[in-house]
């Protein structure tokens, strides 16, 4: 059995799964249930000046039969009294001392307010702080949340205020609502943050009701941009995480990965791109805390299979494989192959290639089943047919290199090699 | 042993004759199934449908909440799409070809989805089709069955005025009169006919029988064209001793009575024998059982592999508790006091294939005797040979000979459906009606028979995949379009 425990700047948790700062972590009742279910840690829902929420707070994007492929919220930070939150945090830490307790913070825009809040939170015995520089709705109108995270100079300044007062590790959570997360990430590291976490939610409009013409979530005939998350945002989160893992400054601090993580596989991917721990919210909001069981079990089995003893054995392992396009090997070539024994004659590969790609699949009429075959000389190896085929391993990509040696674009040009002639 | 009616309490009848293929209970259930569909290209299901319904398209339209579009997709190819969703042997057509079968997965429940998409349209008479302005052309259709009404609907859409002559008092033909009530209810059949005629331009004259109330010559004179969709009617006779004994009945009559008189009014025996193994035989056997017969035995002169019904149908009969005797050919019906008491059968074995391509049943010399008080004959129906011969229609044993374009040897007379093919599925008749309509349009519109692509233009009226319902594939000359 592999050891899946995490040590994040000395904050230990029996597994790398923390619940992200969100409704599932806004009170003792939920947090204790999460710990009982086996979650490694929680990031307590953001504390700050007490706010008031509206009713009707979430909306979702469904895809075919899958509900909540993407999820959206317009909820603000915790709307509970600060003293109750602090008291409950203390109780949770006492009842589950082996779990990570991070508290998310968003103080009003002054050094004193931040210092005061940090002091109060540290008194609870919490193990770490997470600075919410990412909330993209509501709080931004008050100059907080993403407004801070979108300006590296302001972000750095606030981090510096925090570091003056903090005695426990500080994680700064980055907003994805920027052209690149690196500038703010760098500024925060330079400002002294102990770690980074990303991504927060992405500003969105999830849809419009075609009867009322009002976008959702519906609040008395109006709506507002919300924060998008869930499985749909995972690829964006992975990309942003990778840029933080690649940058010389930001890669010096540990990262907690966030963004559409629903399974152990998602988690492993975030960890391969440099996350030491991962944070989960939407999946728990959809299915409840019980999903933690397979998240641990699956990760453990995969690590055993790959020979990883601890998570440190693979955290960041894939970062170096993400390169510049110009460094890709132009001599690499593969073509699709259809396994006729597995083919169910649905024609999806054919019509995709015919209408949208390179007309590299032939159709031989049959009633009722046509036969489809790859025209290898036409196939550019784009993967489209393989991605679309509904049968596992029916279409495979077979390597047919154009040359034995590695050849990048720069060299290709230097050698004056021919471009496509059609 | 006796033949009697009203064998069961009303609620038992209700249960026995309730829908064998219930619809989706909820929209969500339909969506789960619709979303399973892969949306195949040049889909095997569509290719396996005699009317060529664009199945992936109508299923996709369910998933996008476009039920109106979904219903239109179905009805453009098959105006009996609602009825066919209940009576088609889909296991050998669309669902049998579904690519999921090749993955050893349950095929998409196409029929059930088709029912889902068409149910409200039929019940609430959705206006899915716009009839073109009248062209002044008139066509007579004989027979308000699937072939006739399918032909009538296409023609009326193109602005041709249709008069349908139907010898029965209700429309729908075999759908209304010849199929088990638990597959399609009489009420539904009425609704379906009303839905089809709600287009306008189709007048049905009931209780008008060809050769009795109207003549072919009259129709030829009064109309620009005539379509014969008269089906088949007379049950094949066994030509064995005892066939005239009381208790011997034709399956078609038996099924007709169940649909016409109500369950409690149809007499059935204690011990019933059904002869034959086609769809009609199954419908007769299962319904005899559901009416309260104590024992139902089906006898068939060949073996299970040669059966005319599908496996699904046979399973229904078996689940209903019908006994099956293979390789038994009726030899004599014996009786007492004019009432039948038993059926004597030759025990057969299979020989070399005969004219039908199936192994020929050959008597072994042994016989068996099965006691019974009722024998239902379901060995196929005969075309109206006398009638068609009387009018000089070229025919083969009563089956009207038609050319590629459904024209007969007589001027202006077209024919299609069971009266041409000898008796196939409802869906085949619908397609024949559609094709004949295209041929009639071409016949009525000489402009279209000249010049290139004429045939293609006429065919586009019935080819759902190439015709948009709002476009005008045809317009009639002389300022009538």
Note the pLDDT tens digit of each residue in B35-55: 999 999 999 999 999 999 999
- Are B346 and B388 within one domain? no
- Are B221 and B251 within one domain? no
Domain assignment present for residue B461? The answer is yes
Domain boundary among B98, B123, B148: B123
> Residue A391: its chain B contacts at CB < 8 A?
103
Does the beta-carbon distance from B38 to A351 stay under 8 Å?
no
Domain boundary among B345, B363, B381: B381
Domain assignment present for residue B15? The answer is no
In this predicted structure, what is the pLDDT of residue B474?
35
Cα B261 off chain centre by:
21
**pLDDT interval class at B127 (50, 70, 90):** very high
- Are B257 and B318 within one domain? yes
- Count CB neighbours of B440 within 10 A: 28
Closest partner residue to B48 among A345, A351, A368, by Cβ? A368
Each residue of B17-32: pLDDT tens digit?
A: 888 888 998 999 999 9
- Are B377 and B243 within one domain? yes
Structural contact between residues B11 and A44, judged by C-beta atoms closer than 8 angstroms: no
Backbone φ, ψ for residue B213 (5° rounding)? -95, -25
> Residue B31: its chain A contacts at CB < 8 A?
65
Q: How far is A70 from chain B (nearest CA, A)?
A: 18
- Are B420 and B293 within one domain? no
CB-count burial class (<10 Å; 0-12, 13-18, 19+) for A362: middle
Residue in B with minimal Cα distance to A368: B44
Establish if B465 touches chain A: CB-CB under 8 angstroms: no
Describe the crossing of helices B146-157 and B186-197 by its angle, rounded to 10 degrees: 20
- Are B38 and B79 within one domain? yes
Each residue of A101-123: pLDDT tens digit?
A: 999 999 988 999 999 999 999 99
Mean pLDDT of B77-106: 97
3-state secondary structure A273-340: CCEEEEEECHHHHHHCHHHHHHHHHHHHHHHHHHCCCEHHHCCCCCHHHCCCHHHCCCCCCEEEEECC
Angle (CA) B319 B324 B325, round 5°:
170
In this predicted structure, what is the pLDDT of residue B465?
45
Q: How many helices (H) and strands (E) does chain B have?
A: 20, 17
Establish if B94 touches chain A: CB-CB under 8 angstroms: no
> Residue B102: its chain A contacts at CB < 8 A?
344-345
Tokens of A215: 């976008």
Question: Which pTM does this prediction carry?
Answer: 0.90
Tokens of B143: 């027979």
Q: Which residues of A135-166 are buried (b: 16+ CB within 10 A; e: fewer)?
A: bbbbbbeeebbbbbbbbbebbbbbbbbbeebb
Per DSSP bridges, beta strands A170-173 and A226-229 are unpaired
Does the beta-carbon distance from B41 to A391 stay under 8 Å?
no
- Are B104 and B201 within one domain? no
* Binding-face residues of B in 48-77 toward A, CB within 8 A: 48, 63
B438: domain CATH number is 3.50.50.60
Each residue of B421-467: pLDDT tens digit?
A: 999 999 999 999 999 999 999 999 875 544 455 555 667 777 654 33
What is the residue range of B223's domain? 138-233+383-466
Question: Is A385 part of the annotated catalytic residue set?
Answer: no
Structural contact between residues A129 and A171, judged by C-beta atoms closer than 8 angstroms: yes
pLDDT reading at B298 higher than 70: yes
| Distance from the first to the final alpha carbon of chain A | 55
Domain assignment present for residue B16? The answer is no
The Cα A50–Cα A71 span in angstroms is: 25
| Residue A100 host element (H or E) | strand A100-106
- Are B335 and B356 within one domain? yes
Does the beta-carbon distance from A348 to B39 stay under 8 Å?
yes
> Residue B44: its chain A contacts at CB < 8 A?
345, 368-369
- Are B167 and B193 within one domain? yes
Q: Which residues, in sequence order, are CB contacts of B464 under 8 Å at separation 6+? A: B52, B53, B54, B73, B76, B77
Domain boundary among B64, B95, B123: B123
Collapsed DSSP state (helix, strand, coil) of residue A259: coil
The Cα B480–Cα A297 span in angstroms is: 75
Establish if B268 touches chain A: CB-CB under 8 angstroms: no
Domain assignment present for residue B222? The answer is yes
Describe the crossing of helices A292-306 and A264-272 by its angle, rounded to 10 degrees: 50
Establish if B35 touches chain A: CB-CB under 8 angstroms: yes
CATH 3.40.1010.10 applies to domain A325-414: no
Closest partner residue to B40 among A64, A346, A363, by Cβ? A346
DSSP 8-state code for residue B103 = G
In this predicted structure, what is the pLDDT of residue A117?
97
Collapsed DSSP state (helix, strand, coil) of residue B1: coil
Establish if B41 touches chain A: CB-CB under 8 angstroms: yes
**pLDDT interval class at B236 (50, 70, 90):** confident
- Are B189 and B215 within one domain? yes
Q: Say which of A135, A343, A349, A379 is annotated catalytic.
A: A135
The tokens 């073996």 sit on which residue?
Answer: B303
Tokens of B342: 């038993």
Each residue of B262-297: pLDDT tens digit?
A: 899 999 999 999 999 999 999 999 999 999 999 999
What beta strand segments (E) does A165-260 contain? 170-173, 195-198, 202-204, 226-229, 255-258
Domain assignment present for residue B153? The answer is yes
**pLDDT interval class at B185 (50, 70, 90):** confident
Mean pLDDT of B245-258: 92
Establish if B32 touches chain A: CB-CB under 8 angstroms: yes
Q: Work out the mean pLDDT of chain B and round it to a whole number.
A: 91
Q: Work out the mean pLDDT of chain A and round it to a whole number.
A: 96
- Whether residue B172 is preceded by a cis peptide bond, meaning omega within 30 degrees of 0, is no
Structural contact between residues B440 and B225, judged by C-beta atoms closer than 8 angstroms: yes
In this predicted structure, what is the pLDDT of residue A230?
97
| The total number of structural domains that make up chain B | 3
Q: Which residues of B445-475 are buried (b: 16+ CB within 10 A; e: fewer)?
A: beebeeeeeeeebbbbbbebeebeeeeebbe
Mean pLDDT of B347-375: 94
Structural contact between residues A12 and A34, judged by C-beta atoms closer than 8 angstroms: no
Most trustworthy range by pLDDT among A144-158, A263-277, B349-363, B378-392: A263-277
Collapsed DSSP state (helix, strand, coil) of residue A150: coil
CATH 1.20.120.920 applies to domain A6-321: no
CA distances from A190 to A42, A242, B76, B409 (A): 26, 19, 68, 95
- With CA atoms as reference, report the closest residue to A273 among A306, A249, A238: A238
Mean pLDDT of B124-145: 96
Domain spans, chain A: 6-321, 325-414
- Are B229 and B266 within one domain? no
- Are B260 and B351 within one domain? yes
Sites in chain A below the pLDDT cut of 70: none
Backbone φ, ψ for residue B34 (5° rounding)? -60, -35
Domain assignment present for residue B128? The answer is no
């Amino acid at each position: 059995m592999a050891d899946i425990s995490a040590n994040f700047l000395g904050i230990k948790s029996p597994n790398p799964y923390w619940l992200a700062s969100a409704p599932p972590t806004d009170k003792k009742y939920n947090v204790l249930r999460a710990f009982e279910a086996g979650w490694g840690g929680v990031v307590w829902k953001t504390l700050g000046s007490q706010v008031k929420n509206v009713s009707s707070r979430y909306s979702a994007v469904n895809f075919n039969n899958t509900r909540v492929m993407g999820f959206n919220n317009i909820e603000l930070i915790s709307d509970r009294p600060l003293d109750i939150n602090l008291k409950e945090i203390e109780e949770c830490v006492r009842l589950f001392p082996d779990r990570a307790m991070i508290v998310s913070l968003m103080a009003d825009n002054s050094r004193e307010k931040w210092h005061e809040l940090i002091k109060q939170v540290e008194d609870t015995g919490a193990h770490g702080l997470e600075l919410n520089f990412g909330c993209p709705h509501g709080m931004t109108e008050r100059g907080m949340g993403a407004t801070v995270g979108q300006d590296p100079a302001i972000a750095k300044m606030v981090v510096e205020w925090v570091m003056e007062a903090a005695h426990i590790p500080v994680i700064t959570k980055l907003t994805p609502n920027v052209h690149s997360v690196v500038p703010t990430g760098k500024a925060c590291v330079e400002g002294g943050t102990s770690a980074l976490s990303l991504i927060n939610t992405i500003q969105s409009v999830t849809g419009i009701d075609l009867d009322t013409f009002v976008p959702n979530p519906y609040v008395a005939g109006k709506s507002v941009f919300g924060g998008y998350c869930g499985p749909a945002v995972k690829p964006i989160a992975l990309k942003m995480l990778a840029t933080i893992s690649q940058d010389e400054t930001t890669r010096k601090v540990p990262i907690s990965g966030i963004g559409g993580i629903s399974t152990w596989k998602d988690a492993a991917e975030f960890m391969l791109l440099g996350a030491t721990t991962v944070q989960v919210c939407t999946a728990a909001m959809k299915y409840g805390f019980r999903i933690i069981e397979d998240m641990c079990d699956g990760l453990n089995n995969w690590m055993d299979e790959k020979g990883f003893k601890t998570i440190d054995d693979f955290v960041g392992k894939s970062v170096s494989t993400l390169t510049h396009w110009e460094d890709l090997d132009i001599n690499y070539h593969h073509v699709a192959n259809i396994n006729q024994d597995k083919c169910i004659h649905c024609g999806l590969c054919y019509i995709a290639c015919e209408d949208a790609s390179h007309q590299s699949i032939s159709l031989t009429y049959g009633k009722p089943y046509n036969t489809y075959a790859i025209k290898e000389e036409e196939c550019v190896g784009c993967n489209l047919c393989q991605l679309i085929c509904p049968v596992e391993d029916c279409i495979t990509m077979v390597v047919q290199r154009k040359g034995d040696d590695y050849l990048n674009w720069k060299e290709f040009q230097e050698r004056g090699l021919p471009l496509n002639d059609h | 042993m006796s033949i009697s009616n009203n064998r069961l309490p009303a609620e038992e009848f209700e249960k026995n004759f309730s829908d064998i293929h219930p619809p989706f209970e909820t929209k969500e259930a339909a969506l789960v199934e619709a979303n399973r569909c892969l949306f195949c290209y040049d889909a095997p299901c569509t290719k396996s449908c005699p009317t060529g319904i664009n199945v992936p398209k109508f299923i996709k339209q369910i998933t996008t909440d476009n039920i109106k579009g979904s219903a239109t997709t179905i009805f453009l190819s098959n105006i009996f799409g609602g009825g066919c969703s209940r009576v088609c042997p889909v296991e050998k057509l669309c669902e049998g070809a579904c690519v999921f079968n090749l993955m050893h997965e349950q095929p998409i429940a196409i029929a059930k989805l088709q029912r889902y998409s068409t149910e409200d349209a039929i019940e609430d008479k959705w206006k899915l089709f716009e009839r073109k302005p009248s062209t002044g052309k008139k066509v007579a259709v004989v027979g308000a069955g699937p072939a006739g009404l399918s032909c009538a609907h296409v023609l009326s859409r193109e602005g041709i005025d249709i008069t349908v002559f139907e010898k029965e008092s209700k429309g729908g033909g075999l759908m209304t009169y010849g199929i088990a009530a638990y597959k399609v209810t009489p009420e539904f059949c009425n609704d379906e006919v009303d839905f089809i005629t709600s287009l306008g331009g189709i007048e049905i004259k009931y209780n008008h029988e060809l050769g009795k109330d109207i003549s072919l010559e009259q129709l030829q004179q009064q109309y620009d064209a005539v379509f014969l969709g008269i089906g088949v009617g007379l049950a094949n006779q066994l030509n064995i001793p005892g066939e005239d004994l009381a208790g011997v009945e034709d399956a078609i009559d038996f099924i007709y009575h169940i649909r016409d008189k109500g369950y409690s009014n149809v007499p059935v025996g204690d011990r019933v024998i059904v002869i034959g193994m086609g769809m009609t035989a199954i419908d007769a056997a299962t319904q005899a059982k559901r009416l309260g017969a104590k024992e139902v035995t089906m006898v068939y002169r060949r073996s299970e592999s040669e059966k005319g019904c599908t496996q699904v149908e046979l399973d229904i009969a078996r689940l209903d508790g019908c006994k099956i005797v293979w390789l038994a050919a009726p030899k004599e019906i014996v009786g007492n006091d004019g009432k039948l008491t038993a059926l004597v059968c030759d025990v057969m074995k299979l020989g070399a294939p005969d004219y039908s391509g199936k192994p020929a049943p050959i008597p072994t010399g042994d016989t068996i005797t099965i006691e019974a008080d009722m024998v239902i004959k379901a060995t196929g129906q005969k075309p109206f040979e006398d009638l068609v011969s009387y009018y000089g229609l070229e025919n083969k044993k009563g089956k009207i000979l038609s050319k590629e374009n459904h024209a007969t040897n007589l001027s202006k007379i077209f024919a299609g459906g069971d009266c041409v093919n000898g008796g196939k599925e409802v869906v085949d008749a619908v397609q024949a009606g559609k094709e004949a309509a295209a041929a009639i349009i071409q016949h009525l519109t000489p402009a279209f028979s000249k010049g290139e692509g004429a045939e293609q233009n006429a065919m586009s009226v019935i080819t759902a995949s190439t015709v948009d319902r709002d476009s005008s594939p045809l317009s009639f000359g002389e300022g009538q379009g």
